[in-house]
Amino acid sequence: QREHLAIGLLESLGLDELQPVIASLRQDFPQLEISLARLDNPTLLEQLSEGRLDAAITFDHAMEGRTGVRYVELVLEQSFFILSRDHPLARREHIAPQDLSGQIICETRAREGDGSDGYLRRLVGLLGIRPTGFLSVDNLASGLAAVETNQAVGLIDERVQLFHPERYRLIPSGTYQSVICASLEGNRNPYIPQLAQRLKAACAKT
């Protein structure tokens, strides 16, 4: 009898530890079929709540206000603001987050509530940035497109895998967020704890 584990990974996360962990699970449990999908956060959370994913790997703030979900913290990641190299601010030798006041900032469009990214807006307020507005984008690709054309400033984590890093200037935010492995409390798939604990151990080594 085949057994299944469906994993969703936030598209912007460059979690290099995941593939070796999946390989170790396949080796130790030959009967286990594992699927992995890279998804934007709204789709990731939607599929988790619908039971189409057994585990969702994303940031802890994505679980704010959600009930019926459990998660294991894997690793802390620093956030970076991202500018196009052609942006006027990118020519400065030193850029602080507060220098981004007066810019438009990308936020991923949510599918619930008011449609805004509450975490991003709180972070911007915490850092004393006063943007002229927010630009809603559907995913990482559309956010980077807006950054490249100087329409907006983006926010990424330190592990994001950029295809052309030379096109961008990164500004450390000085703030950190937890990467987590989340699942529904009612999901008794025995391979979820195996995935979470092996991932946590792998992240601790890097």
pLDDT of 181 above 80 = yes
Residue 102 banded pLDDT, cuts 50, 70, 90: very high
Q: What is the CA radius of gyration of the chain?
A: 18
- The per-residue pLDDT for range 113-159, each reduced to its tens digit, is 555 568 889 999 999 999 999 999 988 889 999 999 998 999 988 87
pTM recorded for the entire structure: 0.80
pLDDT of 96 above 70 = yes
Cα 147–Cα 165–Cα 160 angle in degrees, nearest 5:
80
End-to-end CA distance of the chain: 36
**Which runs of consecutive H residues, i.e. helices, occur in the chain?**
18-28, 41-49, 118-126, 140-148, 191-205
Percentage of the chain surpassing pLDDT 90? 70
Task: Please answer whether residues 21 and 204 qualify as being in contact, where contact means their C-beta atoms are separated by less than 8 angstroms.
Answer: no
> Which two tokens mark 191?
């391979």
Q: How many other CB atoms sit within 10 Å of the CB of residue 76?
A: 12
Closest CA to 57 of 49, 66, 48: 48
Looking at residue 112, its pLDDT comes to 59
Task: Please answer whether residues 178 and 99 qualify as being in contact, where contact means their C-beta atoms are separated by less than 8 angstroms.
Answer: no
